[in-house]
Amino acid sequence: MKIFKIYVFLVCLSINHTVFAQKPIEIIKFQELEKLMQKDDRIYVFNFWASWCKPCVTEMPAFETLANNFHPNKVSVIFISLDFKQDLKIVEKFVTNHQIKSKIYLIDEPDYNSWIDKVSSQWSGAIPATLISNGIRHEFYEQSFDYQSLSERIRHFF
């Protein structure tokens, strides 16, 4: 009986660890994103996506691999969800199901035309879209990536 109680305790502990290990999705305004885009302490890869965007979902593993492989070299991947604020639960479920480990923000700015030009004047508003920045140098891509092409773009910043 004692072994069963220990087993139940360990199962509960692992479930709690799994629940709390997932980083919460923060809801931000564009001003907060803009501050992140100006940071110069490392290379930041901002991927603009939505849970309903098939090309976005397809490329996410390449970004996660990039985050794992380049982390020692001071590269951070940040996913910026363009899902609506009221769909936060859907995004949270998506992140859990796809085991996304990188930081995720949901931008709460429904008037995209008021801020997409501030990310890049080249951006039509289509997703997926990616901004690579070290605070000084910025490169913007309105396209899908595979791991090889994404890692080549990152290497230009070293």
Query: Is 61 within a domain?
Result: yes
Give 79-93 pLDDT, tens digit per residue: 999 999 999 999 999
122 vs 157, higher pLDDT: 122
Count of domains observed in the chain: 1
Flag whether 146 is in a domain: yes
- For residue 8, is it within any domain? no
Q: What's the order of all strands across the beta sheet hosting 129-133?
A: 26-28, 103-107, 75-81, 43-49, 129-133, 138-141
Q: Tell whether the model's pLDDT for residue 19 goes beyond 70.
A: no
| Token duo for residue 10 | 């360990």
Domain housing 116: 25-155
The domain that contains 75 carries what CATH number? Answer: 3.40.30.10
Is residue 10 over pLDDT 90? no
The pLDDT tens digits of the residues spanning 122-146 come to 999 999 999 999 988 999 999 999 9
Q: Is 69 within a domain? A: yes
Query: Would you say the C-alpha torsion 47, 52, 57, 60 has a positive or negative sign?
Result: positive
Average pLDDT value over all residues in the chain: 87
Pairing of strands 129-133, 138-141: antiparallel
- Residue 6 falls inside a structural domain: no
Note whether residue 19 is domain-resident.
Answer: no
DSSP secondary structure string for all residues of 95-120: HHHTT--SEEEEE--S-GGGTHHHH-
In 10 A of CB 154, how many CB atoms? 18
Tell me, yes or no, whether 96 lies in a domain: yes
Please state whether beta strands 75-81 and 103-107 pair in parallel, antiparallel, or not at all (unpaired). parallel
pTM exceeds 0.75, yes or no: yes
How many C-beta atoms lie closer than 10 Å to residue 151's C-beta? Answer: 16
Question: Domain for residue 29, yes or no?
Answer: yes
Axis crossing angle, helix 54-70 with helix 147-155, rounded to the nearest 10: 50
